[in-house]
Amino acid sequence: MPSPETTARSLILASTSPYRRELLERLRLPFSVAAPGVDETPAPGEAPRDLALRLALAKARAVSQAHPGALVIGSDQVATVDGAPIGKPGGFQQALAQLRAMRGRTVAFHTAVAVDDGHRPASAVVTTRCMLRELSDRALRAYLHAERPYDTAGSAKAEALGIALMERIESDDPTALIGLPLIALTRLLAGFGMDPLDALEEPRA
């Protein structure tokens, strides 16, 4: 049976991202979503990994303050090539330029996740490294027309056809690349007494 703490506390995802919502649904925990409304402008000289962590914590804290007593999840991701951040392309030409610059190279995706109960936030950062294939412009253009990944940092959706762009992916947490590291998140939630497995009911004999 679920513990009283697990059933009594509400869970909120501080994100309007459909990708993060779909990932969190895999844990089978009831949750709601709320827009964090956090300024995502990098601080001067801020390292990409530090930016992702700061924003994940800020998103969780912003929604936590508006919903006292809830357990709030915040997450953010920053992609980099040779340490320089790359953002969401927003359109075809920008996406094509990104993929041209990335082919045959390694892109690092720093994905941060934070859980805040209003008192003691906990967090983790997972770095995923993706080596892209040496592909022709024709292949890159065909991919972009087929998938239109213009709202995705790095212009590639690895959870879909974008996996065909990859030579290799290295990560300790396979869903981190999509935007929410579920292994790290499960560990953080368990620390607050909300383990997804504890919340499952055993079938009656």
Question: Residue written as tokens 């560990």?
Answer: 187
Is the pLDDT at 98 greater than 90? The verdict is yes
What pLDDT shows up at residue 9? Answer: 84
For residue 189, give both structure tokens: 């939630």
Instruction: Specify the fold of 4-191.
Output: Maf protein (3.90.950)
Domain segments of the chain as ranges: 4-191
> Which are the catalytic amino acids?
76
51, exposed or middle or buried, with CB in 10 Å at 0-12, 13-18, 19+? buried
Q: What percent of the chain is predicted at pLDDT more than 70? A: 95
Note the pLDDT of residue 175: 95
Query: Is residue 123 within 8 Å of 53, Cβ to Cβ?
Result: yes
Model confidence, pTM: 0.87
What is the structure's pLDDT at 181?
A: 97
